[in-house]
């Protein structure tokens, strides 16, 4: 296989006492990614934590500091969102970016729902639908289907039946974050693109690579485009080519502490975690090539570890773009 598209994913951590600095650091990473030739930059979504709570707003800012790199969310949990309002925000940023937005979404109740529902849905908590129907509503609205029966001019105001602005290409850049066979199949049936990450659910197998491969194949078997349907794989890779001795030691300790959770399914949901890959780029490239699921895809969004420093991220992005990417057959965008 030859890697066609190379992206990266960041959580955008910040200090509560100085949140602007963290957000500015995230934007600078996206700018660096464009300079290094990355095809895409993705941001995570964190509510009531010290990471990006409003990825669409952050990507609106990024759209004005970049010209080429695609901008994605991995992923927006729709349980926190009103699909109509989100469709308006997504279309607005897509227009501002010149058609570079790649929204990734997921479903399910908001995390710690019992503790936040009084603030999030004080009157409708029991009636909210947190399943796939919420995604379907969003897709319909992004597609331009009717949102209101009011159009034309009323007094001095002009109205539209569909979400405005309307960005016709956006529907083809909608992604679904799937961690189970059912979700992967559903994403394929909807004609969405698939985001598969370093966390999957053990169902028919218990090995991470076998599970992820099954998800990718089930998705494509149910997608109208079949084998050509887009899948982006998100794994944690930590190349050490240009790292200092102190960085290498810290990176290796980070991976060592996270490795025990990768040996067997975790928790009642039986979640399986991928092993983080750390070391020289040539070794990481060999390890990736040995993964059957990696051989099924031609685009990735490598996840930056959550707790590293900004200088670490600069080193990692530089090594991924200049050393690891070319070893995987990737060429930087111009």
Confidence of residue 247 (pLDDT cuts 50, 70, 90): very high
> What is the number of structural domains in the chain?
1
Domain of 228 in residue numbering reads as 5-327
Q: Is residue 332 part of a domain?
A: no
Confidence of residue 204 (pLDDT cuts 50, 70, 90): confident
Output the pLDDT for position 75.
Answer: 97
Confidence of residue 1 (pLDDT cuts 50, 70, 90): low
Confidence of residue 81 (pLDDT cuts 50, 70, 90): very high
Query: What CA–CA distance (Å, rounded) separates 128 from 78?
Result: 11
Contact 199, 178 (CB under 8 A): no
Q: Is residue 123 part of a domain?
A: yes
Number of residues in the chain: 334
Alpha-carbon distance values, 101 to 80, 131, 170, 267 (Å): 20, 24, 7, 34
Q: pLDDT by residue (tens digit) across 259-316?
A: 999 999 999 999 999 999 999 999 999 999 999 999 999 999 999 999 999 999 999 9
Q: pLDDT by residue (tens digit) across 12-47?
A: 999 999 999 999 999 999 999 999 999 999 999 999
pTM: 0.97
For residues 76-94, one letter each, b for 16 or more C-beta atoms within 10 angstroms of the residue's C-beta and e for the rest, the string is bbbbbbebeebbbbbbbbb
Peptide bond into 75 cis (omega under 30): yes
Q: Is residue 20 part of a domain?
A: yes
Q: Is residue 334 part of a domain?
A: no
Per-chain mean pLDDT for the chain:
97
Q: Is residue 333 part of a domain?
A: no
Q: Is residue 169 part of a domain?
A: yes
Q: Is residue 102 part of a domain?
A: yes
CATH code for the domain in which residue 195 is found: 3.20.20.30
């Amino acid at each position: 296989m030859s890697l066609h598209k190379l992206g990266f994913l960041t959580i955008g951590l910040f200090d509560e006492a100085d949140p602007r600095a963290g957000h500015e650091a995230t934007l600078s990473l996206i700018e660096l990614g464009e300079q290094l030739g990355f095809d895409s930059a993705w941001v995570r979504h964190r509510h009531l934590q010290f990471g990006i709570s409003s990825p669409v707003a952050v990507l609106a800012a990024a759209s004005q500091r970049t010209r080429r790199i695609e901008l994605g969310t991995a992923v927006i949990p729709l349980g926190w969102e009103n699909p109509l309002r989100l469709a308006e925000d997504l279309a607005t940023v897509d227009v501002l970016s010149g058609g570079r937005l790649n929204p990734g979404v997921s479903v399910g109740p908001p995390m710690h729902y019992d503790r936040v529902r009084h603030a999030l849905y004080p009157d409708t908590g029991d009636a909210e639908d947190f399943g796939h129907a919420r995604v379907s509503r969003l897709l319909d609205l992004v597609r331009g289907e009717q949102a209101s029966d009011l159009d034309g001019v009323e007094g001095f105001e002009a109205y539209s039946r569909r979400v405005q602005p309307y960005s016709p290409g956006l529907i083809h850049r909608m992604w679904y974050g799937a961690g189970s066979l059912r979700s992967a199949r559903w994403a394929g049936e909807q004609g969405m693109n698939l985001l598969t990450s370093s966390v999957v659910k053990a169902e028919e197998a218990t090995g991470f690579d076998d599970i992820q491969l099954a998800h990718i194949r089930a998705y494509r078997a149910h997608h109208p485009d079949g084998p050509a349907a887009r899948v982006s794989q998100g794994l944690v890779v930590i190349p050490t080519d240009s790292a200092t001795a102190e960085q290498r030691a810290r990176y290796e300790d980070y991976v060592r502490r996270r490795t025990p959770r990768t040996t067997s399914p975790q928790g009642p949901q039986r979640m399986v975690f991928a092993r983080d890959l750390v070391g020289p780029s040539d070794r990481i490239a060999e390890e990736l090539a040995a993964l059957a699921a990696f051989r099924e895809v031609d685009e990735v969004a490598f996840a930056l570890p959550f707790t590293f420093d900004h200088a670490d991220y600069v080193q990692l992005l530089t090594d991924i773009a200049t050393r690891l990417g070319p070893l995987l057959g990737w060429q930087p965008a111009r």
